[in-house]
Amino acid sequence: MSSSTTGWVRPKIEQNWLTRLLDWKPFLIILCLLPAVGLLAVFLTYPLGLGIWLAFTDTTIGRSGRWVGLENFEFMIEDPIFWNAVFFSVFYTGVATIGKFALGLWLALLLNNHLPFKSLLRAIILLPWIVPTVLTAVAFWWIYNPQFSVISWMLIELGLRDTNVDFINTAWPARWSLIAANIWRGIPFVAISLLAGLQTISPSLYEAALLDGSTAWQRFRYITFPMLLPILAIVMTFSIIFTFTDFQLVYAITRGGPVNSTHLLATLAFQRGIPAGQLGEGAAIAVSMIPFLVFATLFSYFALARRKWQQGESND
Amino acid sequence: MANIITRRSILGAGVGMAALAAGGEALAQNRVRGDASVAAPRLPIENGATLRILRPVRFVAPDEEVFRANAARFTQQTGVQVRVDFVGWEDINQQTAVTANTGAGPDCIIGFGDSPHIYADKLIELSDIAEYLGKKFGGWMFGGEKLGKRHGTNNWIGLPMGGTSGPLIWRKSAVNEVGFQSPPNDLTSFLELCRRLRRINKPAGFALGNAIGDGNGFANWLMWSHGASIIDESGAVSVNSPQTLAALNYLRELYPTFVDGGTIAWGDISNNQAYAANTCWLTQNGVSLYFALKNDPATRAIADDSEHSVMPLGQANSWPNAPLILNAMVFRHSRFPNAAKAFVAFMMEVEQYEPWLNANLGYWAHPLNAYRAASVWTSDPKVTIFRDGMNSQFWNGYKGPISEASGQANAEYVLVQMFASVAAGQATPDAAMREAERRSRRIFRRA
């Protein structure tokens, strides 16, 4: 008994299997990753995978489909309505993006100056973007109404025209009208994002340039623009994706009409998939948007985001 | 069915209530007599039966109230608990599809016309109650029989409960002003009427945009009044025909007489707006437009000046119009098929059906001949025309069998767009027709 102090050994705690399992690193890694992987699988991979799977079947609403291979895509390639939607999606995205960035950048530069009521003005600028798209669409639907357009009414009252303006009754006017509505709606997002970018540019750069006797254009070209490029790339990526996948404006204003001339791929996919019930065909059209979006993203990333820190390296 | 949604939204619930009060005395007594000697089929109700019913939402508030009261009476008399769910018009087809495919859900769905034909294999036959009701109430009208029976057989798979049509609605003053008593039935004179209306700046207008109800209704009229059809009796695509070409050429003459600004961008609500604003003086619509005008003091004068008549027949022998039909179906997966059948038959009996028909003010028209005596049809002379809606000899996808594809052709606006592209000058009649043929071949390839 007396030698108990020297003979003391640390009591060996028998670790149970759970503790041992939890101490095992590979298991722990899997366990910690599981929630994230689960969320991604359920909410991202499964719907995307299902969409792609559906594109290769002849599923309709009311009948589970059979595998038909590329049949949907073969039909699509011969379908002038599909090619028209491809054309208009690209055209709509291209023109609307250029419009939004030209006007948005201009607006951001104006707002970056010292103006009275600056914060109030900035808040007002955001309005078109805050309003729900459907509301915007309904407003434009009235503005473009073939009989009750306020613009037609004004022009006729002023004696400038005798007949209503054709906004959405024929193909090209309808296309331009939708692009105008999209630009109107998209400007605030671009303007506010670029304004945030502008404010991160150090004033000392401008001071130095001023001392060197630079012109306003030179300051824009050699300081503002390059410094803004990183944020421009990101905003443009988002803008292109939003515009290319636009649905609400077109569906609410023209429903793809007149005679399918303003269908975007998103509205055509919906039209075929849900009201017409051809889930397989609709999914095939939706899947065909993926290459365009990947291209747009890669373009923004590689062509515009060339600074090293944007690609995970340090900035030298 | 967006047209009906918009009609309903224009009408508003309060108006429906007022109309119920007005028709109150009509509800008190039945004017329809059934043949009491016809024996009802024996349907022993299963022990402990309960029912779930799905149907589209109401046009007017009394529709739902009377329907629920009728269902409650069924519970009272049979002890079967009934739960009725009302779903939006745009959802009912999808819910029918899911119910049919999963084999779970409501015992009975009162869906739209085509559905029983699409899911025929998932349904139980309703021949016994359909034949009983037909015998008792003076026989089924054409639309009831066409939509109720499986194609080419005498087996009933659906039980039509009502239909709603879209006639011509026109301003009497304008039509009289240009020298017509009422719109003529032959197409040449109708064109002349529209030309004259255009000249006095009180033009006609028909939807040629992606308007599911009005656009398809107008396109179907153009086809059928020229003897054309999208498919033939066997279901083969027949849109490429001299008759279609004639219809396209006719529209080329007719379209320039339409309202300033054109109708190619028209949705289902556009003609209602234009008519209510004195911009358009002759168009095609369901009864909702008339009630909306009548119940609003600001437009009451327009309603008083308005008349309904059938669309010009042209080469058709009867009104070229496909009513939208409420079609009840009972699913195989129901554990209480007898109770479900008894419920459907019960709702069609005079004690239940007549008050319901009257409460609907003419929005729904009966499919059984005896109900033409119901008071709703004489309550307002301007709704009398809707009484014979279910006698229409036409249906969506005429002349072929009713299938999924005919619904798809409507949903994809194949005919509407064929006509619109010619009206807009975007395509020649020949090219437009060939494009419609190409699309139809794809859509009807499995039918």
Angle of the B13-22 helix axis to the B61-78 helix axis, nearest 10:
70
- The pLDDT value recorded for residue A47 is 92
By CA distance, what is B100's nearest residue in A? A62
Beta bridge partners of B164: B324
In this complex, do A271 and B412 lie within 8 Å of one another by their Cβ atoms? yes
Q: Which candidate, B113, B60, B28, places its Cα nearest to that of B286?
A: B60
Query: Of the candidates A61, A171, A275, which has its C-beta nearest B426's C-beta?
Result: A171
Q: What is the pLDDT of residues B144-159, one digit of tens each?
A: 999 999 988 999 999 9
Query: Of the candidates B270, B411, B424, which has its C-beta nearest A275's C-beta?
Result: B411
Q: How far apart are CA B341 and CA B128, in angstroms?
A: 9
Is B119's Cβ below 8 Å from some Cβ in A? yes
Question: A103 to each of A95, A124, A144, A186, B1, how far by Cα in Å?
Answer: 12, 16, 22, 10, 40
Q: How far apart are CA A217 and CA A229, in angstroms?
A: 16
Collapsing DSSP to helix, strand or coil, A67 comes out as: strand
Burial class (CB in 10 A: 0-12, 13-18, 19+), B25: exposed
Q: How far apart are CA A263 and CA A174, in angstroms?
A: 11
Is B266's Cβ below 8 Å from some Cβ in A? yes
Interface of A with B in 80-99 (CB under 8 A): 80
Other beta carbons within 10 angstroms of residue B134's beta carbon come to 20
H-state helical runs in chain A: 17-23, 25-40, 46-55, 71-77, 80-111, 118-130, 133-143, 150-157, 171-199, 203-211, 216-219, 225-244, 248-253, 265-273, 279-287, 289-299
Contacts of A261 in chain B (CB under 8 A): 426
For the cut 90, the answer to whether the pLDDT of residue A230 exceeds it is no
In this complex, do A163 and B260 lie within 8 Å of one another by their Cβ atoms? yes
Whether B401 and B151 have beta carbons less than 8 Å apart is answered as yes
Whether B80 and B50 have beta carbons less than 8 Å apart is answered as yes
- Which two structure tokens, joined as six digits, stand for B24? 């109150």
In single-letter form, the type of residue at position B254 comes to: L
- The pLDDT value recorded for residue A310 is 52
Question: B241 to each of A133, B34, B231, B232, B432, how far by Cα in Å?
Answer: 44, 46, 11, 11, 12
Q: How far apart are CA B289 and CA A46, in angstroms?
A: 46
Q: What's the pTM?
A: 0.86
What Rg value do the Cα atoms of chain B yield, rounded?
22
- The number of residues making up chain B comes to 447
Q: Which candidate, B174, B430, B211, B428, places its Cα nearest to that of B302?
A: B174
By CA distance, what is A252's nearest residue in B? B267
In this complex, do A174 and B100 lie within 8 Å of one another by their Cβ atoms? no
In this complex, do B93 and A61 lie within 8 Å of one another by their Cβ atoms? yes
In this complex, do B273 and A147 lie within 8 Å of one another by their Cβ atoms? yes
- CA atoms within 13 A of residue A42's CA, in its CB half-sphere: 6
Contacts of A61 in chain B (CB under 8 A): 93-94, 97
Q: What is the pLDDT of residues B162-182, one digit of tens each?
A: 999 999 999 999 999 999 999
Q: What is the pLDDT of residues A192-218, one digit of tens each?
A: 999 999 988 989 999 999 999 999 899
Which phi and psi (to 5°) does residue B282 adopt? -155, 125
By CA distance, what is A256's nearest residue in B? B210
In this complex, do A255 and B411 lie within 8 Å of one another by their Cβ atoms? no
In this complex, do A277 and B404 lie within 8 Å of one another by their Cβ atoms? yes
- Which two structure tokens, joined as six digits, stand for B156? 């009933």
Q: What is the pLDDT of residues B389-398, one digit of tens each?
A: 999 999 999 9
Q: What is the ipTM of this complex?
A: 0.82
Burial class (CB in 10 A: 0-12, 13-18, 19+), A139: middle
Query: Of the candidates B265, B411, B417, which has its C-beta nearest A169's C-beta?
Result: B265
Q: What is the pLDDT of residues A7-24, one digit of tens each?
A: 777 777 777 888 888 888
- The pLDDT value recorded for residue A231 is 87
Collapsing DSSP to helix, strand or coil, B418 comes out as: helix
Exposure string of A38-53, with b = 16+ CB inside 10 Å and e = fewer, is eeeeeeeeeeeeebee
The count of CB pairs under 8 A between chains A and B is 101
Could you list the mean pLDDT of each consecutive 10-residue stretch along chain B, which spans 447 residues?
40 42 49 87 92 92 94 95 92 88 92 91 95 96 94 93 95 96 95 97 95 92 96 94 97 96 92 94 94 93 95 93 94 96 96 95 94 93 93 92 89 94 94 96 85
- pLDDT, averaged across chain A: 88
- pLDDT, averaged across chain B: 90
Q: Which residues contact B397 (CB under 8 A, 6 or more apart)?
A: B114, B230, B231, B403, B405, B406, B407, B409
Q: Return the DSSP state at A56.
A: T
Contacts of A156 in chain B (CB under 8 A): none
In this complex, do B424 and A148 lie within 8 Å of one another by their Cβ atoms? no
What pairing do the DSSP bridges indicate for beta strands B108-112 and B168-171? unpaired
Shortest distance between the Cα of B440 and any Cα of chain A, in A, equals: 12
- The pLDDT value recorded for residue A134 is 85
- The pLDDT value recorded for residue A311 is 52
In this complex, do B407 and A278 lie within 8 Å of one another by their Cβ atoms? no
